[in-house]
Amino acid sequence: MIGIIANPTEHSVVREFFELFKTPWEFYRSDRKYEVIVCAADADFERDTAKLTLIYSGQRLTFDSKESIEITSQPRNNRVLSHNGRQIPIYGDCITFQGEGSSVLRDEESRLPAIDLGRTADGIVGRIGYNLFAEVRTLLTTGQPVANAAMPALDLHIALLRDLIVAAGVPLVEIPPVPDGYRFIACLTHDVDHPSIRLHRLDHTMFGFLYRAVFGSLLDTVQGRMPFRNLLRNWAAAVKLPFVHMGIANDFWLEFDRYAKLEKGLRSSFFLIPFKDRPGQTAKGSAPSQRASRYGAQEITEPIRALISAGCEIGLHGIDAWLDDSKAREELGEIRRFTGARDIGVRMHWLYFGEQSQGILDKAGADYDSTVGFNETVGYRAGTAQVYKPLEAVRLLELPLHVMDTALFYPGHMHLKPQEARKRVGVIIDNAVHFGGAVTVNWHDRSIAPERLWGDFYLQLLDELKERGAWITTAAEAVAWFRKRRSATFENGGLETNAPNGKGAVDSDAGLPGLRLRVHSPGTSHQDTVVGAVVA
């Protein structure tokens, strides 16, 4: 059992952190004995019975003077620490300590230790130079800057705490974010922005298509970003465009239901714009006119019905739902009316979002949101591949977005060649295999059609996800699995080695993979026990 000491203002953060690091814990009680104490406050407490005491703070504490801990630097934010060869960005105050210290955690710039480890007659005491729960709050609210997008910071904080506990000789049990039978989760999602080029006549979308199909494709082919056959396909589509508008030729964008064939029985999620010709609002006024879509969900009934029949999920690609709860209810209501589904997930068009958005969507009755990601790069805006509950939400969960096609390939964003993009996405998949969680992919509706023709990369990505052991599913089912994991609890703070005594109240989990119970024993590799649909 881990006893947690934190400032009352951080208690909600503590609770969420231990939904992500699913292991027995409670807020510290002076009448209890703990194997591990984690303190993130300048507080006095009895630690004589704990095998491991970890004290987190980026400021000088009374404890430091009392224990003669020598601090070598003034508090400074935006440091990068190194643990087991991985970088952990620190956004709040961070300090380093005197001497060689421990190589467990070091400041990348100064190479000084950011942890002071000492052994007493009672156990091990670790003084860590930043506030863990302040960092978690930053990640779950403000998020990471683009420069640190590649770092799964929150998952690394969990890994560091786990490693310190196990290295101290304390057995640890957890329910990892890994479904039974798989190594991680992959969510295939598609934002439906432009389902038909016939809807675009002499507007910026049509002219943008022509420019990219004719000139952009030629440049991409010369630079090795596009095969010659795709250049010919794009030029043929440009020639065909007038005939599409006249109704003589087939609309080559109105084929996004091909995803069901490409995915070969895998189920994915499609986010639909509810109303046409609405650009929506920014926080300061009207959004740019080009944000408005030329379609509404009701206008593409036939292909969407086919996708629903194939087991795909339909969600809301919101316009103003991020900013206004009445608009959120209206937009969610349109998708409910269209699909007949009650629980609807959301991803905002153009990834519009604000500090209050998750609370607004929660109040409006959205089941989950999947907007927290980057337009301009791939990676971890919230520092994690896990589904989490925003601090201001009551029920809504957040499924972070990690990989988006336009971020990978568009000029002005990463503008990668396919082999470069495979490396960047491969790192994210490697992290998922190591840490667990869900890799969320967004491949837009027209990204397999001219002028993008990014279907080959998408098929290779599907193959890699399968080969690496992913449970490939819809956003809604991934969120449902994490709800199931969140509902599991532990009794009496621990487990018998061979007899799990966790207890869960899991309802309506038919078809979802089971949970795992992972036991870390000092000196040995961890062992997993499958606990099925209910931890019992």
- DSSP for 473-495, please give it: E-HHHHHHHHHHHHHEEESTT--
- The verdict on residue 321 lying in a domain is yes
Q: With pLDDT > 70 as the criterion, what percentage of the chain qualifies?
A: 93
pTM of the model: 0.92
Tell me the average pLDDT across 326-352. Answer: 95
Q: Which residues contact 8 (CB under 8 A, 6 or more apart)?
A: none
Does one domain contain both 120 and 25?
A: yes
Start-end of H helices in 316-417? 325-339, 357-364, 405-409
Does one domain contain both 93 and 209?
A: no
Last residue of a domain, one of 435, 453, 480: 480
How would you write 129-147 as a 3-class SS string? CECHHHHHHHHHHCCCCHH
Domain ranges, residue 529: 499-536
- The verdict on residue 415 lying in a domain is yes
Q: Is the peptide bond before 451 cis (omega within 30 degrees of 0)?
A: yes
- The verdict on residue 180 lying in a domain is no
Do 314 and 475 form a contact (C-beta atoms < 8 A)? no
- Taking the C-alpha atoms of residue 31 and residue 435, their distance in angstroms, rounded to an integer, is 35
- The verdict on residue 491 lying in a domain is no
Mean pLDDT of the chain: 91
Which of 506, 461, 518 is closest to 480 using CA atoms?
506
Does one domain contain both 42 and 109?
A: yes
Does one domain contain both 275 and 402?
A: yes
Which of 397, 329, 390 is closest to 356 using CA atoms?
390
Does one domain contain both 240 and 124?
A: no
Does one domain contain both 317 and 452?
A: yes
Sheet holding 106-107, edge to edge: 86-90, 79-83, 106-107
Q: Which tens digits make up the pLDDT trace of 70-101?
A: 888 887 888 999 999 999 999 999 999 986 65
Residue 483 binned pLDDT confidence (cut-offs 50, 70, 90): very high
- Number of neighbouring beta carbons within 10 Å of residue 76: 15
Does one domain contain both 309 and 211?
A: no
Q: Which tens digits make up the pLDDT trace of 499-520?
A: 333 443 334 466 899 999 999 9
Residues in the chain: 536
Q: b vs e for 77-113, b when ≥16 Cβ sit within 10 Å of the residue's Cβ?
A: eebbbbbeebebbbbbbbbbbeeebeebbbbeeeebb
Q: Which tens digits make up the pLDDT trace of 4-61?
A: 999 999 999 999 999 999 999 999 998 888 999 999 998 878 767 789 999 999 999 9
Does one domain contain both 364 and 381?
A: yes
Last residue of a domain, one of 122, 140, 174: 174
CATH of the domain at 380: 3.20.20.370
How many domains would you assign to the chain? 4
- Taking the C-alpha atoms of residue 332 and residue 365, their distance in angstroms, rounded to an integer, is 8
- What does the angle CA 436 – CA 109 – CA 114 come to, to the nearest 5 degrees? 65
- Nearest 10 degrees: CA dihedral of 421, 422, 428, 431? -150
Do 514 and 533 form a contact (C-beta atoms < 8 A)? yes
Does one domain contain both 192 and 335?
A: yes
Does one domain contain both 267 and 409?
A: yes
Does one domain contain both 78 and 12?
A: yes
- The verdict on residue 507 lying in a domain is yes
Residue 535 binned pLDDT confidence (cut-offs 50, 70, 90): very low
- The verdict on residue 489 lying in a domain is no
Q: Which tens digits make up the pLDDT trace of 292-336?
A: 999 999 889 888 988 998 899 999 999 999 999 999 999 999 999
Displacement of CA 109 from its chain's centroid (Å): 28
- The verdict on residue 485 lying in a domain is no
Q: Give, to the nearest 10 degrees, the angle between helix 228-245 and helix 204-211.
A: 150
Displacement of CA 407 from its chain's centroid (Å): 16
- The verdict on residue 228 lying in a domain is yes
Does one domain contain both 128 and 147?
A: yes
